């Protein structure tokens, strides 16, 4: 009986070691996925920042043009006698 218990204990220890290996493998894969997602997020953030830096001057120019158009329309209206 004692031998049987020792064998069962050894079997359970083997299973526990296999579970530990599986946990370690999963954690390694999860960390790799996390690192890759984090890298992609950083790349997208950089891309978004770049786009924003290009859009901002365009928005400013558009606002300036809108203001100029309003002034020109007022001037045109005055020239034509319509206000």
The model's pTM is 0.59
Quick one: average pLDDT of 50-73?
95
Phi/psi for 3 (5° steps) reads -65, -40
Ramachandran quadrant class, 82 (left: phi over 0; alpha: psi -120 to 50; beta: rest): beta
Which residue has 């209206």 as its token pair? 77
CA angle at residue 48 from 45 to 54, to 5 degrees? 145
Q: Is the pLDDT assigned to residue 63 strictly greater than 70? A: yes
pLDDT in tens, 40-53: 999 999 999 999 99
Sign of torsion over alpha carbons 56, 61, 64, 65:
negative
């Amino acid at each position: 009986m004692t031998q049987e218990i020792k064998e069962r204990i050894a079997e359970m220890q083997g299973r526990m070691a296999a579970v530990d290996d599986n946990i370690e493998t999963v954690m390694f894969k999860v960390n790799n996925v996390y690192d890759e997602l984090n890298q992609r997020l950083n790349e997208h953030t950089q891309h978004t920042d770049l786009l924003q830096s290009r859009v901002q001057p365009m928005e400013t120019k558009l606002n300036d043009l809108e203001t100029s158009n309003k002034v020109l329309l007022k001037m045109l209206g005055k020239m034509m006698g319509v206000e």
